[in-house]
């Protein structure tokens, strides 16, 4: 009776812990209630089969029936996993290999104690619990990677299975086989553990390197995004959002730079201050959408008029400015202003609406009209307002002469 109790206890521990190990490796989609139900089912089947084979005196048949039951339970669990059939087979074979190694180790560890049948059960439970805990905490992700590459490692898993299972299936007395082949079995377990350890350690290092590379790529992508955002912010800070021209802030910086270069190189430069006449009428008549279209067209036309060395900016609302670098004389600035004035007077078509504008342009020449950017801008603005006083639509130079 004592032997029967120990066999039932050991078989129940083996069956239930085996199922838990298989569920751990397959990452089955079971809730706690279903896991308990499967464990109870396996426990009942194990108790029934143990009693049956015990009274028949066939413990070897019991071990073979247990393997068959494992296969059936594994097939039932397969339908609740995301694994392919070959991935599931690989995992099932791995679970069988682990189970056989635990049986061998627990048997020989149990024989070191006064009640080997109970010590065997205790060590079997501890070893299963240890393996399940290690997989859950350390090796599960690595193992899933191994499973996804099952063709690479299937040969190794099959060799381990054939070597271990030989001692379990080619015998009529499993207990005697385990006892008489102690050292060959322990050596086989050591070699099998070394093989598994090598695979897991290699993949763990590989995954660590992959994670590092992935993190580096993530940082690189984030850096690129930040650089793009910084560039966009810089453009937004330095450009007019409607026309795309440099804004007032950049205009003043550029103006001071050009004046400084003109002083250094003893050359002339000119500033054209452009104000669109009656632009408010267009906004009020056709709406701001058409008004915005007019401003965009004006900006584009100004860019088409200037040289590569010149600078165009939108200062505010309907006010624009052009800085001409390295001019020969005042006449060159006059001729250029006349061309700009003529281009701006051409009709502007916005969708189905055609409208015309005029412009008042004030000119200041360095160094005659001022020796710094602020003075040039003030005097060009003054020349422009002189034009507006005389009816708008014209060109004025900061000596009060009107063309």
236 vs 343, higher pLDDT: 343
**CA 4 to mean position of chain CA atoms:** 59
Distance CA(362)–CA(321), nearest Å, equals: 9
Tokens found for residue 335? 């001729």
Determine the pLDDT at residue 152: 75
- The per-residue pLDDT for range 284-299, each reduced to its tens digit, is 899 989 999 999 999 9
The answer to whether residues 274 and 320 touch, using CB atoms and an 8 Å cutoff, is yes
DSSP 8-state assignment for residue 347: -
Distance CA(194)–CA(189), nearest Å, equals: 8
pTM (two decimals): 0.49
Asked if pLDDT for residue 67 goes beyond 80, the answer is no
The chain-wide mean pLDDT, for the chain, equals 83
Determine the pLDDT at residue 46: 65
**CB-based burial, 111-121: b 16+ in 10 Å, e otherwise:** eeeeebbbbbb
Asked if pLDDT for residue 301 goes beyond 90, the answer is yes
Output the CA–CA distances (angstroms, integers) from residue 95 to 177, 224, 255, in the order listed: 22, 46, 78
Reading phi first (left if > 0) and then psi (alpha if -120 to 50, else beta), residue 269 is in: beta
The answer to whether residues 355 and 368 touch, using CB atoms and an 8 Å cutoff, is no
Catalytic residue flag (residue 173): no
- pLDDT (mean) for 78-104: 81
- The per-residue pLDDT for range 210-223, each reduced to its tens digit, is 777 888 888 888 88
- Burial (CB count within 10 angstroms: exposed 0-12, middle 13-18, buried 19+), residue 369: buried
Nearest to 102 by CA among 82, 122, 85: 122
CA angle 32, 33, 36 (to 5 degrees): 85
Q: How many beta carbons lie within 10 A of that of residue 297, not counting itself?
A: 18
Choosing from 240, 277, 310, 318, which is the catalytic residue? 318
The answer to whether residues 333 and 281 touch, using CB atoms and an 8 Å cutoff, is no
CA angle 85, 89, 93 (to 5 degrees): 175
Distance CA(162)–CA(147), nearest Å, equals: 19
Q: What is the DSSP string of 96-110?
A: HHHHHHHHHHHHHHH
Q: Are strands 394-397 and 358-366 parallel, antiparallel or unpaired?
A: parallel
Nearest to 347 by CA among 403, 288, 280, 298: 298
């Amino acid at each position: 009776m004592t032997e029967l109790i120990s066999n039932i206890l050991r078989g129940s521990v083996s069956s239930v812990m085996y199922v838990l190990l298989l569920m751990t490796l397959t990452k089955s989609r079971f809730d706690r209630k279903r896991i308990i139900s499967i464990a109870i089912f396996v426990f009942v089947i194990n108790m029934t089969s143990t009693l049956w084979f015990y009274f028949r005196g066939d413990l070897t048949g019991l071990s073979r029936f247990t393997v068959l039951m494992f296969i059936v339970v594994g097939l039932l669990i397969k339908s609740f996993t995301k694994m392919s059939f070959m991935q599931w087979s690989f995992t099932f074979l791995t679970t069988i290999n682990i189970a056989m190694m635990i049986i061998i180790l627990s048997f020989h560890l149990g024989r070191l104690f006064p009640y080997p049948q109970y010590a065997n059960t205790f060590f079997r439970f501890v070893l299963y619990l240890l393996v399940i805990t290690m997989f859950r905490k350390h090796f599960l992700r690595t193992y899933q990677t191994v499973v996804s590459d099952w063709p690479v490692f299937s040969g190794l898993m099959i060799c381990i299975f054939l070597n271990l299972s030989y001692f379990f299936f080619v015998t009529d007395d499993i207990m005697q086989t385990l006892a008489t082949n102690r050292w060959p079995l322990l050596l086989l377990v050591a070699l099998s553990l070394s093989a598994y350890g090598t695979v897991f350690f290699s993949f763990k290092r590989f995954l660590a390197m992959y994670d590092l590379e992935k993190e580096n790529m993530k940082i690189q992508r984030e850096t690129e995004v930040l650089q793009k955002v910084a560039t966009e912010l810089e453009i937004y800070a330095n450009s007019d959002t409607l026309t795309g021209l440099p804004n007032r802030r950049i205009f003043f910086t550029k103006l001071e730079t050009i004046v400084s270069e003109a002083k250094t190189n003893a050359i002339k430069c000119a500033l054209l201050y452009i104000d669109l006449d009656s632009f408010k009428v267009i906004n009020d008549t056709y709406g701001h959408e058409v008004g915005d279209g007019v401003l965009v067209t004006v900006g584009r036309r100004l860019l088409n008029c200037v040289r590569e060395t010149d600078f165009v900016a939108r200062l505010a609302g309907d006010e624009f400015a052009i800085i001409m670098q390295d001019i020969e004389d005042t006449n060159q600035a006059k001729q250029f202003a006349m061309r700009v004035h003529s281009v701006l007077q051409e009709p502007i078509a916005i969708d189905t609406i055609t409208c015309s504008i005029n412009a008042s342009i004030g000119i200041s020449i360095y160094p005659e009209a001022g020796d710094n950017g602020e003075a040039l801008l003030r005097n060009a603005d003054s020349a422009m307002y002189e034009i507006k006083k005389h009816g708008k639509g014209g060109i004025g130079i900061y000596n009060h002469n009107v063309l």
